[in-house]
Structure 1
């Protein structure tokens, strides 16, 4: 009996061992092989591939693509995405099949957003998104509207320069991160709600504080809260804090919108309309193609601030960091400014920017190396094949713009700062397209090898405005000051709202420098 019992026990042990090994192999193997999806690394139960992802998600995905190819499958907790890492595959999604991938999936704590369902930037491709895109292209961010804001951009640049001139005279260092944040906040606040800002000079600061709190709450969510089993439980209270911050914003913007409505009822004809004026006109228009809701207007304004403030400030910091790291390039830009202005040397203006191709090339090179949107999000609207693999409707996709813009097959020495790579001689004489016009087209994603502002239908609507702010600010700082860095200029990082580092650099401080005045924009030339 003992021998029979031992034999039976051994048989059961062998059977369960075999089943366990079989199940573990299934769990750890890539699910893409079973589903006809592209290959990917072996994942862990529940966690997926979180153990392979560092804080710099774009860099992690770029490294994995070297093993698993330009189209691979990644699972982050419960979220499964396809990752595109080369321009040829990106072209299929952003150009060839653009309408079929015109939706974006939400990569963040959406369940705690009190405006859920009212988003535009992350809205599905449908009537509301198309209506708002048309409104942005024809009224909100049209060329003539951006031209109207030129005074705001130049005025706030002068305010920044006054502050820096005083610091230079007093031999004080300045935190450029804080200076750029203040600059971008005031510019955008006056564009969006200029009337209220003229009556309340503290409004931009108040808005910035609330938006910063909202984004800080969003960055506190960890992997497990976003994609793992804790995503619906709010164990650490971050969801509650996020809701509270958004409600504070709602209270503020509700008051502002009521003040606008009150003024409109008194004076029907409003001149020099800001963005809120245009949104409320659309809201009150009985002939509008689509009836906006107040929640949609409120969230659209919030999205503008969240999408613009930190990204523009980060791009300004990165550009100054690269120029300070490369003094020869800094000097070339200053020489170009002097040459463009000629004998009547004065402070640079927006109207002079198209005469500065080397400056534009330096900014473009900065955005190639340090894109503020390193991962483009898309979601398929229909079933199709990409690179021979089945991509079903609803499939979520990351396009690794960071990796594509550092592809050694496209860019020689891709990790080096070389503005000259973008200084091409214009060959098409018949079209008479100058470098500046070509530069603006490339910023809007016409070339899928360069995706600093995305591409296709979901490309960045604020690319032109951001380019103007970047160009004018950097040109002014190069023209007027020499810069000495305090601390390690290579160690500051940009945190995305999702909690992932866009740059992957160490440290956490902003760029702190001492400005040395070499051209006084309010007086006379120093040197």
Structure 2
């Protein structure tokens, strides 16, 4: 009996000894207390970026959480972000597997969520050189100008009818139309367009959904019971049908063989099909990869562009003094013309400061796309184990009082006397990330955002509907929109 009891207790003794040895030999980052099995899941709340900021104020800018069985390093300061995204960028360049990404993005074959390796390197090169290069973005400037002019015309019609307008919907329609024309070759409207927009909206919501099974595999059935996987499979099927039809139309029109290096206005499908057919330099692009990368362009472009536009206009409506100052700058540069050139935008220093300040307070992805540590490493003296996931809280970094004076105030003037930019070299402001996993669409996004905001404040005077306050509440999800639509009143200036 004693021997049997000894055999039963021995594994427990081994676990305890191993635990204490690990705790004395490893210097892990500070962690809040956690529950058995669940870990710190219960502490995230409905707005994780806000809750994680609060926890970081107690446990530090490098904090280790345990979401179920998964260790997660939370980064909440510019200095810590520099360590992860620059000093040790290579080690932290992998992506964690997400069941939802696998369902919606063809087994995570897109650029944003694919694992680090040769496939990712080649698709990244394709994106940077042929899809989102400065030359390619310039070739689409005409598309951006046409869709911006269309938006201004729609606003002018509302002015004539003295109507309140839903700026959130208008920004969403503009972002979608630009993305459709750039990625697919034409605008999709009518019943077909409405169905596509509905699918894209649900697609974005599902990408931001938290799957319990990713962190607690033994509870994976919960996501099935609540219908999450079923919804994702349905959306993925319908989007695949739509994109397959777009590709078939391009092939029928003979647009599957183009010069991807030319300055012609080839859309993304043209370029991807040509790479697929020519197999340039052993390109891994096949039909599945083409579809995944097309969806990437919508996930990375449409939603985040709309978010940036509506938050910038929200802050301008909330701070009329900033609105007037911006209008003075834009109108003095442009005069009575309605066409705003690249050269004119280049002279608008306050416009750039306003957009930077909006990104600081409202990064479209408050928690940047998660990374994963590929090997054991020390960061700021702490031991980080291979397989640890990493969340960079760009929202908290943008509001860090150690980096910013009056961090909760909307003060674009701070950027007029500062060299800080959002291109990734200043870690106090990283809405697009940095390093190998930084967003390659930064030039595209900034071009359309500057163009639209400049036109909105140049051609119209803006105010809130009489008797209405501005609600700045946020939604929850991968990207953070306004909780309520942005309703405003426009008065034509020119």
Instruction: Give the alignment of 1:473-512 within 5 angstroms.
Output: 473-486=452-465, 487-497=468-478, 502=480, 508-512=483-487
Which residue of structure 2 lines up, in the alignment, with residue 349 of structure 1?
341
1:416 and 2:404 correspond: no
CA drift at 1:493:
2.2
CA contact (8 A) 2:105 2:292 kept: no
CA drift at 1:48:
1.5
For 1:102, what is the secondary structure of its paired residue? coil
1:462 and 2:441 correspond: yes
Which blocks of at least 5 consecutive residues in structure 2 are unaligned?
1-11
- Structure 1 consecutive aligned stretches of length 4 or more whose deviation exceeds 3 Å: 31-36, 110-114, 200-206, 216-219, 221-229, 265-271, 344-347
**In 2, Cα distance between equivalents of 1:269 and 1:311:** 30
Cα distance, 1:317–1:139 mapped onto 2, change above 3 Å: same
**In 2, Cα distance between equivalents of 1:409 and 1:47:** 33
Instruction: Give the alignment of 1:37-76 within 5 angstroms.
Output: 37-76=28-67
For 2:159, what is the secondary structure of its paired residue? helix
CA drift at 1:462:
1.1
**In 2, Cα distance between equivalents of 1:118 and 1:134:** 14
**In 1, Cα distance between equivalents of 2:459 and 2:177:** 22
CA contact (8 A) 2:102 2:108 kept: no
Residues 119-162 of structure 1: per-residue CA shift (max 9 Å, x gap): 32111121111111111121111111111101111100111011
Which residue of structure 1 lines up, in the alignment, with residue 237 of structure 2?
247
Give the count of matched residue pairs: 472
Cα distance, 1:307–1:287 mapped onto 2, change above 3 Å: closer
**In 2, Cα distance between equivalents of 1:341 and 1:115:** 46
| CA-atom RMSD in angstroms | 2.8
CA drift at 1:496:
2.5
**In 2, Cα distance between equivalents of 1:223 and 1:252:** 26
For 1:134, what is the secondary structure of its paired residue? helix
CA contact (8 A) 1:83 1:399 kept: yes
For 2:225, what is the secondary structure of its paired residue? coil
Which residue of structure 1 lines up, in the alignment, with residue 165 of structure 2?
174
**In 2, Cα distance between equivalents of 1:103 and 1:390:** 18
Cα distance, 1:268–1:448 mapped onto 2, change above 3 Å: closer
Which blocks of at least 5 consecutive residues in structure 1 are unaligned?
1-18, 426-437, 520-527
CA drift at 1:370:
0.6
TM-score (normalised: structure 1):
0.83
**In 1, Cα distance between equivalents of 2:259 and 2:380:** 56
Which residue of structure 2 lines up, in the alignment, with residue 120 of structure 1?
111
CA contact (8 A) 2:101 2:207 kept: no
CA drift at 1:224:
4.0
1:443 and 2:422 correspond: yes
Instruction: Give the alignment of 1:237-386 within 5 angstroms.
Output: 237-264=227-254, 272-342=265-335, 345-376=337-368, 377-386=370-379
**In 2, Cα distance between equivalents of 1:310 and 1:171:** 29
For 1:375, what is the secondary structure of its paired residue? coil
CA contact (8 A) 1:153 1:469 kept: yes
CA contact (8 A) 1:359 1:475 kept: yes
CA drift at 1:225:
5.5
Residues 52-98 of structure 1: per-residue CA shift (max 9 Å, x gap): 22211111111111111111111223332011111112111111121
CA drift at 1:490:
2.4
**In 1, Cα distance between equivalents of 2:79 and 2:141:** 38
CA contact (8 A) 2:397 2:429 kept: yes
Cα distance, 1:108–1:114 mapped onto 2, change above 3 Å: closer
Which has more radius of gyration? 1
**In 2, Cα distance between equivalents of 1:136 and 1:100:** 22
Cα distance, 1:217–1:149 mapped onto 2, change above 3 Å: same
1:82 and 2:79 correspond: no
**In 2, Cα distance between equivalents of 1:192 and 1:208:** 14
Which residue of structure 2 lines up, in the alignment, with residue 163 of structure 1?
154
**In 1, Cα distance between equivalents of 2:280 and 2:411:** 51
